[in-house]
Amino acid sequence: MSAESEVRRRIQERVRITFAAFMEIALYWPRGGYYTSREPIGAHGDYYTSPAVHPAFGALLAVQLYQMWQLLDRPAPFTILEPGAGSGLLCRDISSYAKKLPGDFAASLHYVCLDRRIAGPIESGLAKTSRVLADGVPFRGLQGCVLSNEYLDAFPVHQVVMTTDGLKEVYIGLEDGKLVELTGEPSDPRLAARFEGLGITLAQGQTAEVNLTLDRCYQDIAAAMDRGFVLSIDYGRTAQDLYDPERRFRGTLVTYQQHIQTDSPLTRIGSQDITAQVDFTSAAQAGEDARLDTLGLVTQREFLSNLNLDYWLQYLRDTSLLPRQMQANRAGILDLVRPEGLGDFKILAQGKNVGKPELWGLNQSTEATELVKSLPVPTLTDRHISLPDGRSSGSEVEFEAFWPLTDSETSEGPDGMPSR
């Protein structure tokens, strides 16, 4: 039975289903759900994510993980648990760059790729790498870091709308054989409680998305870890910004197919991605409730800049790469920090039983700056997309205009949906 047939069957059985239940089937139904039937990421997919854009992303995360390993007194194993690891490309980039870092760091690593779908073999080159197929986080006693990239945005979300009658939920039903949106009383009291807890009242007519699985997600992560860090990288905003009626009156739910963004989730069921921006205020709160300390929230642009990405960009000018390779590498590195794109992604850092250390990615430090200067610049491989080939991403002139990061720039870019 296809994803759409399953949606229709459930509606016939129950009259209507929540948008979250619809999204769960559309994305993850074993036969023809979006994520179960394709590899969505890359030039030939529907969108791309930072690991596919340039290996500098994984390399600088390896540098950040190296500091965490030191802060934890160099445990072996130091476990990197990556939920939503997908194809394992980030695992490959982090693992191969870890070998360039000092001491026994690489030898101490145990990398665990966790996903609810199988997406090809992992090539980490590390002594200890595991792939785990699971929906939750079935671990205990870890020391290390739980690291995710675009994991939270792939969770089903509830949709709500504020009416003159109070907060209502969006359901999916059938009218004359067509799938339609309906509104009704909220299916779960936690929907209204989320907005009350945030101190936010939606405007009349405003639509918003709510991820109710955030609490369970951070509880699972906290329970998995004895001591260590959590880095959650995703596109999203603080709650005040995300639910701002002036800027996001219709919410942030979008669909992706072949790099084209639309907002029609009820069509092309199972062949397009459906996603919504992450509420990082609630993610941090879910962590605090699970006894994870919030260490900081920065943009990807700030994080990579604090880890001295700029030096690698400068250094690329002097390498012996062919002009075309040079251009592709520069375009990739710059795309990682592009305003209104990947550069506006957020990185939430949390810790368990680690105190409040100053992480290199959150604050500029001489130590990280000097270390990165001593390391080789990673360059594109055949597993990455080459931006000049893969899609048109704007001219060099445009890139030069926004990098390097200047003091006067704020962490928030102009409004708009970051490209994925």
Ligand X SMILES: C[S@@+](CC[C@H](N)C(=O)[O-])C[C@H]1O[C@@H](n2cnc3c(N)ncnc32)[C@H](O)[C@@H]1O
Residues that bind ligand X in the complex, under the rule CB under 6 A: 35, 41, 49, 51, 83-86, 114-117, 135, 149-151, 154-155
Six token digits for residue 128:
């200890």
Is the distance from CB of 149 to CB of 236 less than 8 angstroms? no
CB of 115 or CB of 169, closer to ligand X:
115
**N-to-C CA span, the chain:** 30
Cβ at position 118, least distance to ligand X in Å:
10
Q: Nearest-CA neighbor of 74 among 29, 45, 104?
A: 104
Kindly state the smallest distance separating residue 97's Cβ from ligand X, in Å.
Answer: 16
Query: Closest separation between CB of residue 150 and ligand X, Å?
Result: 4
Q: Which is nearer to ligand X, 16 or 92 (CB)?
A: 92
The residue (of 11 and 41) whose beta carbon lies closer to ligand X is 41
CB of 254 within 8 A of CB of 323? no
State the nearest-atom distance from the C-beta of 174 to ligand X, in Å.
27
Residue nearest to ligand X (CB): 84
Which residues on adjacent β-strands are paired with residue 17? 172
Kindly tell me which of 6 and 234 has the beta carbon lying closer to ligand X: 234
CB of 117 to ligand X, least distance (A): 4
Residue placing its CB nearer to ligand X in the complex, 79 or 206: 79
Asked if 373 and 308 touch (Cβ cutoff 8 Å), the reply is yes
**Residue closer to ligand X, measured from CB, 154 or 212:** 154
CA neighbor of 356 nearest in space, from 98, 139, 71, 166 = 71
* Residue among 135 and 196 whose Cβ is closer to ligand X: 135
Task: 310-316: list long-range contacts, CB under 8 Å, 24+ apart.
Answer: 310/403, 310/404, 310/405, 311/369, 311/372, 311/373, 312/56, 312/372, 312/377, 312/378, 313/403, 313/404, 315/377, 316/377
User: What values do phi and psi take at 111, rounded to 5?
Assistant: -100, 125
The least distance separating ligand X from the CB of residue 337, rounded to whole angstroms, comes to 16
Cβ 306 vs Cβ 361: under 8 Å:
yes
Angle in degrees, CA 142, 356, 196, rounded to 5: 90
One-character DSSP codes across 259-308? TEEE--TTSSTTTSEEE--EEHHHHHHHHHHTT-EEEEEEEHHHHHHHTT
Q: Toward ligand X, which CB reaches closer, 256 or 360?
A: 256
Strands 109-115 and 78-83: parallel
Bridge partners (DSSP) of residue 166 are 163
CB-side neighbour CA atoms (13 Å) of 292: 32
Least CB distance from residue 10 to ligand X, whole Å? 20
Task: Report the length, in residues, of the chain.
Answer: 420
CB of 219 to ligand X, least distance (A): 13
Min CB(406)–ligand X separation in Å: 28
In the complex with ligand X, the residue whose CB is nearer, 49 or 329, is 49
Return the number of the residue (88 or 206) whose C-beta is nearest ligand X: 88
Sign of CA dihedral 176, 178, 182, 186: positive
Rounded to a whole number of angstroms, the minimum distance from the CB of residue 232 to ligand X is 11
Cα(185)–Cα(166) distance, rounded to whole angstroms? 9
